[in-house]
Amino acid sequence: MKNIQKIKLGINGPEVSKLGLGCMRMSSIWGGPTPDENESIATIQQALDNGINFLNTGDFYGAGHNEMLVGRAIKGRRDDAFISVKFGAIFHNGQWLGLDLRPIAIKNFINYSLTRLGIETIDLYQPCRMDGSVPVADIIGTVADLVKEGKVRYIGVSEITADQLREANNVYPISALEIGYSLADRQIEKDLLPVAKELGIAVVTFANTAEGLLTGEMKAPLPENDYHTHFSRFQGDNLVKNLQKVEVLKQLAKDKGFTPTQIAIAWVNAQGAEFMPLVSMSRRSRLPENTAAMEITFTPEEMNTLNTTFAPGAILGGTYLQR
Protein backbone atom coordinates (compact mmCIF):
# COMPACT_ATOMS: atom_id res chain seq x y z
CA MET A 1 0.00 0.00 0.00
CA LYS A 2 3.04 2.25 -0.17
CA ASN A 3 2.19 3.12 -3.79
CA ILE A 4 -0.63 5.49 -2.80
CA GLN A 5 -1.29 8.34 -5.23
CA LYS A 6 0.57 11.61 -4.73
CA ILE A 7 -0.47 15.24 -5.05
CA LYS A 8 1.67 18.36 -5.40
CA LEU A 9 0.77 21.15 -3.00
CA GLY A 10 0.95 24.30 -5.07
CA ILE A 11 3.16 25.17 -8.03
CA ASN A 12 6.41 24.96 -6.06
CA GLY A 13 5.16 22.84 -3.18
CA PRO A 14 6.02 19.34 -1.99
CA GLU A 15 4.53 16.02 -3.05
CA VAL A 16 2.37 14.36 -0.40
CA SER A 17 -0.18 11.55 -0.29
CA LYS A 18 -3.35 12.30 -2.26
CA LEU A 19 -5.38 10.90 0.64
CA GLY A 20 -5.11 12.98 3.79
CA LEU A 21 -5.72 11.81 7.35
CA GLY A 22 -7.90 14.17 9.37
CA CYS A 23 -7.03 13.80 13.04
CA MET A 24 -9.72 16.06 14.53
CA ARG A 25 -12.03 13.25 15.65
CA MET A 26 -9.23 11.68 17.67
CA SER A 27 -9.96 14.37 20.28
CA SER A 28 -13.10 15.44 22.11
CA ILE A 29 -15.43 17.29 19.75
CA TRP A 30 -17.95 19.74 21.19
CA GLY A 31 -17.56 18.24 24.65
CA GLY A 32 -17.98 14.63 23.54
CA PRO A 33 -15.84 11.71 24.69
CA THR A 34 -12.21 11.31 23.65
CA PRO A 35 -11.64 8.20 21.50
CA ASP A 36 -9.14 5.58 22.66
CA GLU A 37 -5.76 7.29 22.41
CA ASN A 38 -3.79 4.11 21.81
CA GLU A 39 -6.03 3.23 18.87
CA SER A 40 -5.76 6.76 17.49
CA ILE A 41 -1.97 6.69 17.67
CA ALA A 42 -1.92 3.24 16.06
CA THR A 43 -4.15 4.59 13.28
CA ILE A 44 -1.74 7.45 12.55
CA GLN A 45 1.24 5.13 12.57
CA GLN A 46 -0.41 2.58 10.30
CA ALA A 47 -1.44 5.37 7.94
CA LEU A 48 2.21 6.43 7.76
CA ASP A 49 3.21 2.81 7.16
CA ASN A 50 0.74 2.74 4.26
CA GLY A 51 2.14 5.88 2.66
CA ILE A 52 -0.54 8.31 3.93
CA ASN A 53 1.73 11.06 5.21
CA PHE A 54 -0.54 14.15 5.18
CA LEU A 55 -1.74 14.59 8.78
CA ASN A 56 -4.20 17.40 9.47
CA THR A 57 -4.70 18.88 12.93
CA GLY A 58 -5.56 22.18 14.60
CA ASP A 59 -4.25 23.88 17.74
CA PHE A 60 -7.85 24.20 19.00
CA TYR A 61 -8.82 20.54 18.52
CA GLY A 62 -9.40 19.31 22.04
CA ALA A 63 -7.63 22.42 23.43
CA GLY A 64 -4.23 21.17 22.26
CA HIS A 65 -4.93 17.49 22.93
CA ASN A 66 -4.92 16.67 19.21
CA GLU A 67 -1.50 18.17 18.59
CA MET A 68 -0.02 16.32 21.56
CA LEU A 69 -1.55 13.08 20.27
CA VAL A 70 -0.08 13.61 16.80
CA GLY A 71 3.25 14.48 18.39
CA ARG A 72 3.29 11.16 20.26
CA ALA A 73 2.37 9.27 17.09
CA ILE A 74 5.16 10.75 14.95
CA LYS A 75 7.87 10.66 17.60
CA GLY A 76 10.94 9.02 16.10
CA ARG A 77 9.60 9.20 12.56
CA ARG A 78 9.24 12.91 11.87
CA ASP A 79 10.43 12.55 8.27
CA ASP A 80 7.56 10.17 7.50
CA ALA A 81 4.89 12.78 8.26
CA PHE A 82 3.73 16.01 6.64
CA ILE A 83 2.03 18.05 9.36
CA SER A 84 -0.76 20.50 8.53
CA VAL A 85 -1.94 22.75 11.38
CA LYS A 86 -4.86 25.19 11.51
CA PHE A 87 -4.90 28.11 13.94
CA GLY A 88 -7.03 31.08 14.92
CA ALA A 89 -10.18 29.64 16.51
CA ILE A 90 -10.87 30.55 20.14
CA PHE A 91 -12.91 28.27 22.39
CA HIS A 92 -13.79 28.41 26.08
CA ASN A 93 -15.35 25.46 27.92
CA GLY A 94 -16.07 23.88 24.56
CA GLN A 95 -17.91 26.95 23.25
CA TRP A 96 -16.88 28.85 20.14
CA LEU A 97 -15.95 32.46 20.96
CA GLY A 98 -14.59 33.63 17.62
CA LEU A 99 -11.26 34.15 15.88
CA ASP A 100 -7.99 35.77 16.91
CA LEU A 101 -5.89 36.39 13.82
CA ARG A 102 -3.78 39.27 15.08
CA PRO A 103 -0.07 38.96 14.23
CA ILE A 104 0.82 38.92 17.93
CA ALA A 105 -1.59 36.01 18.49
CA ILE A 106 -0.27 34.04 15.52
CA LYS A 107 3.29 34.37 16.82
CA ASN A 108 2.05 33.03 20.15
CA PHE A 109 0.03 30.15 18.66
CA ILE A 110 2.94 28.80 16.59
CA ASN A 111 5.23 28.28 19.56
CA TYR A 112 2.62 26.34 21.53
CA SER A 113 1.92 24.16 18.49
CA LEU A 114 5.59 23.38 17.94
CA THR A 115 5.96 22.42 21.59
CA ARG A 116 2.88 20.20 21.65
CA LEU A 117 3.86 18.49 18.41
CA GLY A 118 7.47 18.09 19.53
CA ILE A 119 8.83 19.37 16.22
CA GLU A 120 10.87 22.34 15.02
CA THR A 121 8.94 23.18 11.85
CA ILE A 122 5.29 22.88 10.82
CA ASP A 123 4.97 21.77 7.21
CA LEU A 124 1.73 23.59 6.37
CA TYR A 125 0.35 26.36 8.59
CA GLN A 126 -3.00 27.99 7.92
CA PRO A 127 -5.64 30.24 9.46
CA CYS A 128 -8.79 28.16 10.01
CA ARG A 129 -10.85 30.88 8.30
CA MET A 130 -10.94 34.67 7.93
CA ASP A 131 -13.67 37.00 9.13
CA GLY A 132 -12.40 40.42 8.11
CA SER A 133 -11.29 41.31 11.64
CA VAL A 134 -7.65 41.42 10.51
CA PRO A 135 -6.49 42.28 6.96
CA VAL A 136 -5.56 39.25 4.86
CA ALA A 137 -2.17 40.82 4.14
CA ASP A 138 -1.38 41.03 7.88
CA ILE A 139 -2.35 37.40 8.52
CA ILE A 140 -0.47 35.88 5.59
CA GLY A 141 2.42 38.32 6.03
CA THR A 142 2.86 37.15 9.61
CA VAL A 143 2.92 33.48 8.57
CA ALA A 144 5.40 34.42 5.82
CA ASP A 145 7.66 35.83 8.54
CA LEU A 146 7.41 32.46 10.31
CA VAL A 147 8.56 30.81 7.08
CA LYS A 148 11.63 33.04 7.11
CA GLU A 149 12.26 32.08 10.74
CA GLY A 150 12.16 28.39 9.83
CA LYS A 151 9.08 27.63 11.92
CA VAL A 152 6.84 27.01 8.89
CA ARG A 153 7.58 25.44 5.49
CA TYR A 154 4.47 26.21 3.43
CA ILE A 155 1.37 28.38 3.84
CA GLY A 156 -2.21 27.21 3.46
CA VAL A 157 -5.64 28.79 3.90
CA SER A 158 -9.00 27.36 4.90
CA GLU A 159 -12.67 28.22 4.37
CA ILE A 160 -12.16 31.54 2.60
CA THR A 161 -13.64 33.36 -0.39
CA ALA A 162 -12.25 33.58 -3.92
CA ASP A 163 -11.23 37.20 -3.37
CA GLN A 164 -9.48 36.35 -0.09
CA LEU A 165 -7.64 33.48 -1.78
CA ARG A 166 -6.37 35.73 -4.54
CA GLU A 167 -5.32 38.39 -2.04
CA ALA A 168 -3.53 35.85 0.16
CA ASN A 169 -1.63 34.44 -2.81
CA ASN A 170 -0.53 37.94 -3.78
CA VAL A 171 1.15 38.28 -0.37
CA TYR A 172 2.87 34.88 -0.40
CA PRO A 173 2.42 31.75 -2.56
CA ILE A 174 -0.41 29.64 -1.12
CA SER A 175 0.20 25.90 -1.39
CA ALA A 176 -3.18 24.51 -0.33
CA LEU A 177 -6.80 25.52 0.16
CA GLU A 178 -8.69 23.46 2.75
CA ILE A 179 -12.44 23.58 2.19
CA GLY A 180 -15.61 21.54 2.64
CA TYR A 181 -16.58 19.83 -0.63
CA SER A 182 -18.70 16.86 -1.62
CA LEU A 183 -21.39 15.69 -4.01
CA ALA A 184 -23.86 17.45 -1.72
CA ASP A 185 -21.86 20.68 -1.25
CA ARG A 186 -20.72 22.03 -4.59
CA GLN A 187 -21.24 25.78 -4.15
CA ILE A 188 -17.48 26.45 -4.32
CA GLU A 189 -17.39 25.26 -7.94
CA LYS A 190 -18.69 28.61 -9.18
CA ASP A 191 -16.09 31.04 -7.79
CA LEU A 192 -13.52 29.51 -5.44
CA LEU A 193 -12.34 26.42 -7.32
CA PRO A 194 -11.64 28.31 -10.57
CA VAL A 195 -9.36 30.72 -8.69
CA ALA A 196 -7.53 27.86 -6.96
CA LYS A 197 -7.01 26.16 -10.33
CA GLU A 198 -5.82 29.38 -11.95
CA LEU A 199 -3.27 29.93 -9.19
CA GLY A 200 -2.12 26.30 -9.11
CA ILE A 201 -3.27 25.76 -5.52
CA ALA A 202 -4.07 22.25 -4.26
CA VAL A 203 -7.57 21.70 -2.85
CA VAL A 204 -7.74 19.74 0.42
CA THR A 205 -11.37 18.74 0.88
CA PHE A 206 -13.04 17.79 4.15
CA ALA A 207 -16.67 16.72 4.80
CA ASN A 208 -16.60 14.44 1.75
CA THR A 209 -19.69 12.61 3.04
CA ALA A 210 -21.52 15.88 3.77
CA GLU A 211 -21.60 15.33 7.53
CA GLY A 212 -22.85 11.79 7.15
CA LEU A 213 -25.59 12.45 4.59
CA LEU A 214 -23.77 10.46 1.88
CA THR A 215 -22.84 7.45 4.02
CA GLY A 216 -26.15 5.78 3.25
CA GLU A 217 -26.68 5.13 6.94
CA MET A 218 -28.81 8.17 7.81
CA LYS A 219 -32.57 7.72 8.24
CA ALA A 220 -35.40 10.24 8.65
CA PRO A 221 -36.36 11.58 11.06
CA LEU A 222 -33.20 11.99 13.11
CA PRO A 223 -33.28 11.75 16.91
CA GLU A 224 -34.09 15.09 18.54
CA ASN A 225 -30.71 15.21 20.30
CA ASP A 226 -28.74 14.67 17.07
CA TYR A 227 -26.57 17.72 16.36
CA HIS A 228 -27.44 17.49 12.66
CA THR A 229 -30.97 18.72 13.44
CA HIS A 230 -29.60 22.24 13.97
CA PHE A 231 -29.24 22.52 10.18
CA SER A 232 -32.16 22.78 7.74
CA ARG A 233 -30.69 20.12 5.44
CA PHE A 234 -31.45 17.50 8.06
CA GLN A 235 -34.93 18.71 9.02
CA GLY A 236 -38.40 17.54 7.96
CA ASP A 237 -39.16 17.19 4.25
CA ASN A 238 -35.68 18.46 3.34
CA LEU A 239 -34.09 15.38 4.86
CA VAL A 240 -36.67 13.04 3.31
CA LYS A 241 -36.07 14.45 -0.18
CA ASN A 242 -32.30 14.56 0.28
CA LEU A 243 -32.22 10.92 1.32
CA GLN A 244 -34.13 10.03 -1.84
CA LYS A 245 -31.18 11.31 -3.82
CA VAL A 246 -28.82 9.35 -1.61
CA GLU A 247 -30.68 6.20 -2.70
CA VAL A 248 -29.20 6.74 -6.18
CA LEU A 249 -25.73 6.87 -4.63
CA LYS A 250 -26.43 3.71 -2.62
CA GLN A 251 -27.56 1.82 -5.72
CA LEU A 252 -24.53 2.90 -7.74
CA ALA A 253 -22.25 1.88 -4.89
CA LYS A 254 -23.96 -1.52 -4.65
CA ASP A 255 -23.63 -2.08 -8.38
CA LYS A 256 -19.89 -1.32 -8.22
CA GLY A 257 -19.28 -3.37 -5.09
CA PHE A 258 -18.32 -0.48 -2.82
CA THR A 259 -19.87 1.50 0.03
CA PRO A 260 -21.59 4.88 -0.47
CA THR A 261 -18.82 6.47 1.60
CA GLN A 262 -16.18 5.07 -0.75
CA ILE A 263 -18.06 6.40 -3.77
CA ALA A 264 -18.35 9.84 -2.14
CA ILE A 265 -14.60 9.94 -1.52
CA ALA A 266 -13.85 8.60 -4.99
CA TRP A 267 -15.98 11.30 -6.61
CA VAL A 268 -13.94 14.02 -4.91
CA ASN A 269 -10.71 12.28 -5.89
CA ALA A 270 -11.90 12.08 -9.49
CA GLN A 271 -12.33 15.86 -9.75
CA GLY A 272 -8.67 16.22 -10.67
CA ALA A 273 -5.02 15.83 -9.81
CA GLU A 274 -5.17 18.89 -7.55
CA PHE A 275 -7.85 17.46 -5.21
CA MET A 276 -7.03 15.68 -1.94
CA PRO A 277 -9.85 14.02 0.01
CA LEU A 278 -9.16 14.68 3.70
CA VAL A 279 -10.82 11.85 5.60
CA SER A 280 -11.26 11.78 9.37
CA MET A 281 -10.39 8.46 10.96
CA SER A 282 -9.68 7.33 14.52
CA ARG A 283 -9.63 3.56 13.98
CA ARG A 284 -7.26 1.40 11.97
CA SER A 285 -10.19 -0.58 10.61
CA ARG A 286 -11.18 2.43 8.48
CA LEU A 287 -7.86 2.66 6.65
CA PRO A 288 -8.33 -0.17 4.11
CA GLU A 289 -11.80 1.04 3.09
CA ASN A 290 -10.76 4.66 2.63
CA THR A 291 -7.53 3.78 0.87
CA ALA A 292 -9.40 1.50 -1.54
CA ALA A 293 -11.72 4.40 -2.40
CA MET A 294 -8.77 6.16 -4.03
CA GLU A 295 -8.57 3.41 -6.67
CA ILE A 296 -12.21 3.65 -7.78
CA THR A 297 -12.86 4.92 -11.30
CA PHE A 298 -16.14 5.87 -12.96
CA THR A 299 -17.56 5.37 -16.42
CA PRO A 300 -18.86 8.53 -18.14
CA GLU A 301 -22.39 7.25 -17.51
CA GLU A 302 -21.76 6.76 -13.79
CA MET A 303 -20.21 10.20 -13.44
CA ASN A 304 -23.14 11.73 -15.30
CA THR A 305 -25.58 9.98 -12.94
CA LEU A 306 -23.79 11.37 -9.89
CA ASN A 307 -23.38 14.88 -11.30
CA THR A 308 -27.01 15.03 -12.41
CA THR A 309 -28.50 13.63 -9.22
CA PHE A 310 -26.29 15.85 -7.07
CA ALA A 311 -26.19 18.92 -9.30
CA PRO A 312 -25.33 22.16 -7.46
CA GLY A 313 -28.38 23.12 -5.43
CA ALA A 314 -30.02 19.69 -5.66
CA ILE A 315 -29.61 19.06 -1.94
CA LEU A 316 -32.21 21.05 -0.02
CA GLY A 317 -31.43 23.13 3.05
CA GLY A 318 -28.20 24.49 4.41
CA THR A 319 -25.40 23.55 6.81
CA TYR A 320 -22.49 25.43 8.32
CA LEU A 321 -20.62 24.71 5.05
CA GLN A 322 -22.93 27.19 3.31
CA ARG A 323 -22.51 30.10 5.68
The structure's pTM equals 0.95
Instruction: Say if residue 130's pLDDT is above 90.
Output: yes
pLDDT for the residue numbered 1: 45
159, 189 Cβ separation under 8 angstroms: no
261, 215 Cβ separation under 8 angstroms: yes
The model's pLDDT over 156-170, given as tens digits with 9 standing for 90+, comes to: 999 999 999 999 999
What is the rounded distance in angstroms from the CA atom of residue 134 to the CA atom of residue 226?
35
The model's pLDDT over 180-236, given as tens digits with 9 standing for 90+, comes to: 999 999 999 999 999 999 999 999 999 999 999 999 999 999 998 888 888 999 999
pLDDT for the residue numbered 119: 98
Domains of the chain, by residue range, sit at 6-211+260-298
Instruction: Say if residue 104's pLDDT is above 50.
Output: yes
Q: Which of the residues are catalytic?
A: 61
pLDDT level of residue 2 (50, 70, 90 thresholds):
low
- CATH number, domain 6-211+260-298, options 2.115.10.20, 3.50.50.60, 3.90.1170.20, 3.20.20.100: 3.20.20.100
DSSP string, 168-234: HHHHS-EEEEEEE-BTTB-GGGTTHHHHHHHHT-EEEEE-TTTTTGGGS---SSPPTT-GGGGSGGG
